[in-house]
Amino acid sequence: MAQLADIQPGAQIHLKVVHQPTSAGAAKTLARLLNKDPKMVRENRELKTIRKRRFAPITWGGRPFSGRMVKLHRHRGDLGEEGTIRASVDVLRDLGSVARFVEITPA
């Protein structure tokens, strides 16, 4: 396990959630970090095109009504989730606040 101070900005790191987050803020931070994984970025982009394709506004009661699809959040920061991300400066700052919940290894 790599220490947070040893990781240089720009390095690839592998995150694994090893403890359940104790607050909603920590879970949101973990979800935001895990969504930076290239596989999740690709999946979110595909889901976005599906939402755009299925968007069909209709007139309802004389007003335009748009039943937009809600974005699916695949990562929620739950125990066992993992991903590989690039350690930018903002990622390292966020990792400092949730370091007790994750295991960080160089990728």
In a domain, 33, yes or no: yes
pLDDT class for 1, splitting at 50, 70, 90? low
pTM of the model: 0.80
Domain of residue 42, residue span: 4-55+68-106
In a domain, 63, yes or no: no
The per-residue pLDDT for 2 is: 65
Domains held by the chain: number: 1
Q: What is the pLDDT of residues 14-34, one digit of tens each?
A: 999 999 999 999 999 999 999
In a domain, 38, yes or no: yes
Q: What percent of the chain has pLDDT over 90?
A: 62
Residue type, 97: S
Longest dimension (CA), the chain: 61
In a domain, 61, yes or no: no
Residue type, 3: Q
Output Rg (C-alpha) for the chain, integer angstroms.
18
Using CA atoms, how far apart are residues 20 and 13, in angstroms rounded to an integer? 20
